[in-house]
Structure 1
């Protein structure tokens, strides 16, 4: 297989874990990867392995998404690529621990990568796809979006943003030929906890899945049309019921401009 006329897939966080697995598995599906991460040496090794296994030439783009210059370079790579068909926002940081013990610089990086970079690269992807009338954006959230994990307040909040942002984009692109999928992993065997300064004992070991199995399931979910994909959730009805209840709560709170009766009580004394 050659890269001539091959559609491309840009993957952030491609040097390890979920991002690396997306790069490998999308290459097996015929997409020429554009590999984005900070560690150029790891990206070069992955590009060589992908070429050996698939014949596709992978593009290496070493960039730090927490820095404006790095994010702007990747943004331009998305906007300027004439055969980009898939963008996967897999880069993410944890900054785990009690909030008062997390360094401000680590919080800044978390928000920059998990929120700002995902937002701007999603925008760039939709602009690029809009010119062609097709394309797939995949944003990686977390089951932490439903309930923040222990010592993960900022992380859980950032992943809740990723979930709700992606769902809003799904409504924005309806009927356009563009797909937006949001994927919510639970514990996955990656370098995530080590990079966040914690060990993985916060979850039972039986809770973990391998990154390759997780990404394979998420891509199968995409094939099945699951735009909110939770690969370890046994029954999608649980998510659908939760989403419906959230909508009912929103309607109950927002459609009547009337203050609830309990707030009309006279103040004591």
Structure 2
């Protein structure tokens, strides 16, 4: 990619944790920022700290992306502000309760934020990025996208959606100047776990990555051109083999004839 002056980065879930660290790191890379989160006071504190340490312009938008009117306000910003060249879809929440013990209303809220809001923000940003011939979409998924047995099944399903959408977006938009990256963190030391129902202190210490280490690794993966970045995966060859097998199998998924193992007439098995 040719070198260009960074534009604005819009980051959701930016009042703490991963989102706040992305805000700091992107500001240090030269981006002005638009920070989005529900908690206006904490958002203001993050913004002021970044202004003081980096000198970048930082604006804030207090919005609950689970509410249609608030989500529409952020969509409008993405459509109208042509200086935005980076969208970090970080807002979301999870759950650790088994499927049969989970509150369905809470699960629906999770789908609304992790899937619907993320999708609408992508749709708001991508056309402008394509029109301007440059843009970056960073979607924060999770390792449960490929290992859904680890936590709540609905949470895993929402993150599998994020991964699949990111693959599709990269396939469709990479030739139009738009970069797409899906980041799959493992257990990370953030407030995510408190909201999900179990503090990260309850996990083995060797499982839990510091949030700044996670973001720094994800940005190295972005710089290296990765479409999917998994900061805790020590052997990158495992992902390469997994992805190669997926792509190889994808060429065998459409055929007019059922596979031979399905051709035995019904009712003939012992």
TM over 0.5: yes
Gaps of 5+ in 2: none
The equivalent residue for 1:144 is 144
The equivalent residue for 2:96 is 96
Using the size of structure 2 for normalisation, the TM-score is: 0.92
Partner Cα distance (2:198, 2:256) in 1: 46
Partner Cα distance (2:214, 2:224) in 1: 15
Deviation at 1:247, TM superposition (A): 2.2
The equivalent residue for 1:218 is 218
Deviation at 1:226, TM superposition (A): 1.2
Partner Cα distance (2:229, 2:6) in 1: 26
Summarize the Cα distance change of 1:266–1:205 in structure 2 as closer, same or farther, 3 Å threshold. Answer: same
Partner Cα distance (1:235, 1:124) in 2: 36
Gaps of 5+ in 1: none
The equivalent residue for 2:127 is 127
Partner Cα distance (1:149, 1:211) in 2: 23
The equivalent residue for 1:255 is 254
| Aligned residues between the structures | 264
Q: Superposed, which structure 2 residues align to 1:36-185 within 5 Å?
A: 36-185=36-185
CA contact (8 A) 1:12 1:90 kept: yes
Deviation at 1:251, TM superposition (A): 2.7
Summarize the Cα distance change of 1:106–1:85 in structure 2 as closer, same or farther, 3 Å threshold. Answer: same
Larger deviation: 200-209 or 55-64? Answer: 200-209
Deviation at 1:168, TM superposition (A): 0.5
Question: What secondary structure sits across from 2:174 in the alignment?
Answer: coil
Using the size of structure 1 for normalisation, the TM-score is: 0.93
CA contact (8 A) 1:79 1:128 kept: yes
Deviation at 1:35, TM superposition (A): 0.5
Q: Superposed, which structure 2 residues align to 1:181-260 within 5 Å?
A: 181-200=181-200, 203-252=203-252, 254-260=253-259
Question: What secondary structure sits across from 1:92 in the alignment?
Answer: coil
CA contact (8 A) 2:15 2:37 kept: yes
Deviation at 1:151, TM superposition (A): 4.0
Partner Cα distance (1:233, 1:256) in 2: 35
CA contact (8 A) 1:93 1:109 kept: no
